[in-house]
Amino acid sequence: MIKIDVYNTNGEKTRQISLPEKIFNAKINPDLVARAVRVYRANQRRSGAKVKTRGEVRGSGKKIWRQKGTGRARHGDQYAPIFVGGGVAHGPTGRENYQLVLNRKMKRKALFSVLTGRLKAGGIMVVEGLEKIEPKTKTAATFFDKLIPEAKKILIAVPPGFENLHRATGNLARVRLIQVKLLNPYRVLYGGKLIFLPESIKILEETFLKSKK
């Protein structure tokens, strides 16, 4: 049984709750985590770069010199890829597909591996009462400065709703919110201190353990 302290909005320990062992006491698999991060980053990539081929370079198509008698190689127009200012051969077209695939089972194992590692490293907290926080940036900044002043980045896994919390943290550069169902290894690894709400733990368990979808 894994226990973790629960803090209130005053930064005080109020109680302890149990964490699901299958999620927070899983086998850590660095290779699978690295693969999951690579897949996530690749799927965020967009194809934007494009070069012009010799057929797209604007200019005259006149033959640059006669076919025979010059002692030089025969060429057509001056926009062949071998000439300066010519088209580019085998360059990006703007239609590249960088998408990679990781099956659902591997995604979950990678997430459990990362969450286990973060918990063992002291990178996870549970805070209750955040739904009652005032929708003011100053209030949220004061709260986080008091609770975890040393954290350069904070990621809060929230259930649906919590509009006040979204408004309170919207202008805080070091605080980001994410829906519990959208947690992934990359966000957990690079999100800084991870904060769960007690409700978030239940949703996490229902989403990744009890769901068969």
CATH assignment at residue 26: 3.40.1370.10
Both 88 and 106 in one domain: the answer is no
Do 177 and 91 fall within a single domain?
A: no
Instruction: Note the pTM of the prediction, 2 decimals.
Output: 0.83
**Are residues 62 and 106 both part of a single domain?**
no
Residues 79 and 168 in one domain: no
Residues 106 and 149 in one domain: yes
Residue 22 shares a structural domain with residue 119: yes
Residue with tokens 């966000």: 187
Of 97, 132, 165, the one marking the end of a domain is: 97
Are 89 and 108 part of one and the same domain? Answer: no
In angstroms, the Cα distances linking 185 to 53, 175, 190 are 40, 18, 9
The model's pLDDT over 23-76, given as tens digits with 9 standing for 90+, comes to 999 999 999 999 999 999 999 999 889 999 999 999 888 999 999 999 999 999
CA nearest to 32, candidates 23, 21, 20, 40: 40
Q: What is the pLDDT of residues 132-148, one digit of tens each?
A: 889 999 999 999 998 89
Pair 69, 129 in one domain? no
Provide the domain limits for residue 129. Answer: 2-45+101-210
- For residues 15 and 1, what is the distance between their CA atoms, to the nearest angstrom? 15
How many domains is the chain built from? 2
Distance between CA atoms of 114 and 138, rounded to whole angstroms?
A: 32
196 and 130 in one domain?
yes
